[in-house]
Structure 1
Amino acid sequence: MFEINHRVGIDASPAKIYSALTTDDGLALWWTNDISGAGDVGSTIKFRFNGAGPDFVVTELIPNKAVRWQHSGHVPESWMGTEILFQLQVDGQQTFVRFTHSNWQESTDFMAHYSTKWAVFLISLKDAVETNQGRPFPNDIQIDHS
């Protein structure tokens, strides 16, 4: 199994970051502006990019500490069986977000693309929480010309 790993320091409280990871409005500030379904454990979040996109079931919520989602559905196929974990840890005046997208079946160009895109969206999360100006899809930073 393979995984994507990132860590970013954000000048904000864990509570503010947790809200950006667990509510439709919060998620729409940094990942994609078309989101529905965020809520308690067992909720299915639908993330849409031009009408299509992944669904995730919320499998764990530890307030101000951790958020875990399990991929649900068939889009994108390479994400089937994968899991996303956001861990929050205060260190001085910042909160570190440790991001993991795990259980990839193989390391491919598609996985490499999403590793870079996750970095882009984590910077968008940082900007959204610190300045209220994230760059969610479709206004995110493009990493190729396709």
Structure 2
Amino acid sequence: MSFDIFHNLIIKAPINKVFDAVSLPQHLNNWWTLKSSGKPELGLEYNLNFTDDYNWFCKVSVAEPNASFHLKMTQSDADWNPTTFGFDLVTTKEGTLVKFSHVNWPEANHHFKYSSFCWAMLLNGLKNYLEKGVIISFENRN
């Protein structure tokens, strides 16, 4: 048995801007990571650095421009390692529907529940970044 996190939200921005914000390192660093690197191409590696202690790696498992972007963790911690997270995007009258998922958690433990809360907060940060140009400093993102 595995456990999954799902969040849906509308962002009042064109789908290509949302795709870039969830897949390009220069944008990830403005709402999620301290510093990251990678290219949104199937099978390529991303480095997601949050601190020296949380310097994680993953591979692109889905990369469909302006539609879907998913990363499979390859080097992180025991809870995150078996997981894949991603963004499926749909254009709506209001903007872009973001269907976020973070799946295959081994346990519904404290870390799983806290990560679900953190994702909700970070996705709100993504929304504010795209809609209002708000960049919250890395130190204030939790």
Same fold by TM (over 0.5)?
yes
Match among 44, 61, 64 for residue 63 of structure 2: 61
Q: Please name the residue that 1:21 is paired with.
A: 22
Q: TM-score, normalised by structure 1?
A: 0.89
Query: Does the CA contact (< 8 Å) of 1:32 and 1:49 recur in 2?
Result: yes
Q: TM-score normalized by structure 2? A: 0.91
Task: Extract unaligned runs of 5+ from structure 1.
Answer: none
Q: Confirm or deny that 1:130 pairs with 2:131.
A: yes
Deviation track 1:7-36 (CA, whole Å, cap 9, x = no partner) reads: 111000110000111211111111023112
**How far apart are 1:103 and its partner, in Å?**
0.4
Query: 1:77 maps to which residue?
Result: 78
User: Stretches of 4+ moved more than 4 A in 1?
Assistant: none
Task: Note the residue ranges of structure 2 that are not aligned, 5 or more in a row.
Answer: none
CA distance in 2, matches of 1:57, 1:134: 26
Provide the C-alpha distance between the structure 2 equivalents of 1:77 and 1:53, rounded to a whole number of angstroms.
Answer: 14
1: CA distance, partners of 2:58 / 2:81: 10
Q: How many residues align?
A: 140
Contact 1:69 1:84 in 2 (8 A): yes
1:103 counterpart residue number: 104
Match of 1:86 in 2: 87
Q: Which stretch shows the higher mean deviation, 37-46 or 20-29?
A: 37-46
